[in-house]
Chain A
Amino acid sequence: MSRTLRSLLLHAVLVAAAVLTLLPLVWMLAASLAATGGSGDLAAALRRPTLAQYRTLFERLDLARALANSAGLAAAATAISVTVNALAGYAFAKLRFAGRDRLFRALLATLVIPGQIGMLPLFLLLKELGLVNTWAGVLVPSLASVFGIFLVRQYALAIPQSLIDAARVDGAGEGRIFAQVMLPALRPILVTLAIFTFLGTWNDFLWPLVVLTDDRLYTLPVALANLLGEHVQDVELMMAGAVLTVAPVVVLFAALQRFYLQGIVTTGLRE
């Protein structure tokens, strides 16, 4: 087979696979722009696209509130967990203290424990603390993550010790060294961690479903699953809801994919 023919064949397969991959998302978007009942004939519907479904979501079904809830929660989880994990990851990599490496190994071992295992007692604990059906309750499991600490530590290990020693000689305290020397040096990995955390919190379903009972507090995935119960026949409306849920994370990924993919590769291959 000639080189040109092989190249043609390869690209034909690539295009076919790309079309298959994008089809569900394109269909979702197209159906969301159709009038109620119009998704059966998308070609006709797309000649006269309408935002009617989105209007219904915002005006009648209050999904703007769920959108704000999701954004606020994901932002809060990201800010808190990046800070907490950065502090711990740096300490495990660069500061000397008794039992450090044993402690870190013990933490790594917990990576095999899936979050669902402790979910029932955690719920009971939050109930005792009065945190069921609150933002704090949703945030509690994502305050710190072993994976995040690991990510920061691996990156921090490669930062020259001389940077820290020089700052100490200049008389900087440990807090200032972290804030003014380490944070800038750790920036790339912190961006990666921030994207992971934001997407993870945004997309999370089971835990918010368990903790939140008041529909005014629902995040988008929970609100969407709830909407499905009443509007399962309204295909176009449900697709608008799906677009609303998916679009922000897709845009975020498109803008920052360099950091995101690099993070997967470094953690995925470190094994």
Chain B
Amino acid sequence: MKLLWFHLMPYTELPDDFKQKHPSVWVDIDPKLFDPLRAHGMYNDFLDELEHAAELGFDGICCNEHHQNAYGLMPSPNLVAAALARRTQDAALCVMGNSLALYDPPTRVAEEFAMLDVISGGRLIAGFPVGTPMDTCYAYGRNPSQLRERYHEAHDLILKAWTTEQVFAWNGRYHQLRYVNPWPRPLQKPHPPIWIPGGGSVETWRWCAELDYVYAYLSYFGYKLGEATLHGFWEEMDRLGKDRNPFRAGFLQFVGVAETREEALDLYTEPALYFYERCLHVDARYAQPPGYMSEATIRARVRSQVVRAAVASATETHAYGRPAFEDIVSKGYVIVGSPDEVAEQLREVAVNLNVGQLMLLLQFGNMRKDLVFHNTELFAKRVAPQLAGLFEDEWENRWWPKPLAPAARAVPRSLG
């Protein structure tokens, strides 16, 4: 299986009374809370942490896109990936991803992803999220009733731009371009692997199946909720006649490793609570602009008992509020323990959810760099070896980058 190291890049110095005094971490968070001098240190720590993970042999390193928030300081994940492309050699660069409907024209995504793919020697995983309502409809002002139409048009345009060997005109609903001709074009052919981060929408599952993309379920509510969602995903794959290749699916998991479970609880409780109480403190007003969720998805969610239970336990009760700390551990939102305990639980997660692309959050909340390094090193040296090879005898990972052979790759001066 593949192990990817995912950074959300949270602002790590929100005040202790943030939840009490501020209505939202997103959209209209108090601008005065942002201190660029402190953020200078944060960004450089975060980049160190990602580079460190790549050096320790994680298969991929991940960044993503969010706007106007202290939950994740990456309005432009492509800037982060560009820095990483020059500072890493073998790890896949998983940009998870660009919110397609926010780019006008969307050929910007085709160009920048192609730049990253070419600079990195073909290591890019291209993530195509719709984006949260906070990012897309409120921070970037996209009309929620047009968001998905824009997303799908942008997707079609980018794919055509990457795969058409001639200049073409695009007469779309939202974009009209007389000359589409991105330079550069991606190194990977026909294009970098495409991963779709999504919630539990049946339409997204079908779309991933139809276009042969990875479906990545990014939830902060652990594998027990993930089971309900991934179960639905695999049932849908069965219905569509697709195989159960675990590399079709990605899953995100918080992990804290220490010598013992007690020590892990001691080390990781505070950053976990920081994440759930401050980073996820989103005003519910921004959660559901009309049109953001399709009518089919509303129907499916309300009518499916399994999904309804899952959604009720997560998005309504907890997603924009605070879970009890006992829930954070007992429901598996955060997996903490000794290396052996963590390895055993992650193996169980991977097998039960049938997920081959496992994304790990080893930095979360206000975790500082020394602890991030400790967590990452323990994981790389004592957890990862126990998971090596899982699924790989039986299944081919067709959704992984195909970089140039090392001998054919340019070596950045800083790495030479």
Q: Do A and B bind each other?
A: no
Residues of chain B having any CB pair with chain A under 8 Å: none
Residues of chain A having any CB pair with chain B under 8 Å: none
